[in-house]
Amino acid sequence: MIKQSEHRSYGFCRIDVHAHYLPPSVKVASVPGQNHMLSSPMPSWSVDEAISFMDRHHIHSQILSLPVSTPDADFHKMNDYSASLVAEHPDRFGFFASLPLPDIARSVHEIGYSFDELNADGIVFSSNYGNTYLGNAIFDPIYAELDRRQAVVFIHPDTPPDFESTALGRPGPLIEFPMNTARTVVDMLFAGVFRRYPNIRFLLAHAGGVLPTLAPRISSLGSLPWVSNPLGLTHGEMLANLSGLFYDTAIAGSGSSLWPVVELAGPDQIVFGTDYPPASEGVIAQNIEAVAAFEGLTDQQRAGIGANTAKLFPRLASAAR
């Protein structure tokens, strides 16, 4: 067992935006990627285990999410359970509500219920729902409602279609997850989602995967005549759209992950995440130390990661003081 004394306290760790849970009503087979034999298993989870983990790492609170991409899950019950956890531990937990996508009508209803009745802190999307990525026009009613509410939307990767043909025998979180994050955000970019719904605060898991590294390439080539760009997005608008997103540090605390984010979006768009419990406590501890040692941020900017998170989630920020 890791003792709390073995971990230093860092100001940027106060609110963890990337933490998962497993409600009693959800079977492991419904967790993203779990129906793939090459994906990593969801570890056991309980409230007590999560709080003990937070205490060991000087994390005050977690925003829980379960980005399920199977339409037959009981999303209403999942969100009710999440809200009950927050009611029991209001200073330690928040939650991103899950939606029954791609069922648009049910999802719009669930957005209203989650915010108006359950006081959700935001919404979680999977990167794709089968062959449907987040730039698809079917999502427009969802985005319109979320834009009206100025919601925070957490985008978590899932495995792409025909996963087994591209994974080369390796689990989705190793390579395909960071690739699929970039794939869906680029789809959103060229569909004009960020242009048309500027009030949604989009938050990307794992520092956006490979997206920040590819952003200069995408913005440079994306306006050339041989690239489909029906909205006529310019180089500058593409960079502005991508730099306005938020990027979490979960399994992405090293310089190879954070330098591209700093160059693209700057320190003000970085927020803290752990990917507890799937990432494993040892990997999470190493990642926290990597963020603390990253030379691309001044001490003031590193401390500002906590402030960035606090601006997105003021309820938890007041509790974490």
Per residue in 149-198, pLDDT tens? 999 999 999 988 887 777 778 888 788 888 899 999 999 999 999 999 99
Task: Assess contact for 191 and 163: CB atoms under 8 A.
Answer: no
10-319 CATH: 3.20.20.140
Q: Where are the domains of the chain?
A: 10-319
Separation CA 241–CA 5 (nearest Å): 42
pLDDT over 60 at 39, yes or no? no
Helix, strand, coil shares, percent, the chain, to 5: 45, 15, 40
Question: pTM of the entire structure?
Answer: 0.93
Provide DSSP, 123-136: EEEESEETTEETTS
211: burial class by Cβ within 10 Å (0-12, 13-18, 19+)? buried
Q: Give me the pLDDT at residue 40, please.
A: 56
Per residue in 248-300, pLDDT tens? 999 999 999 999 999 999 999 999 999 999 999 999 999 999 999 999 999 99
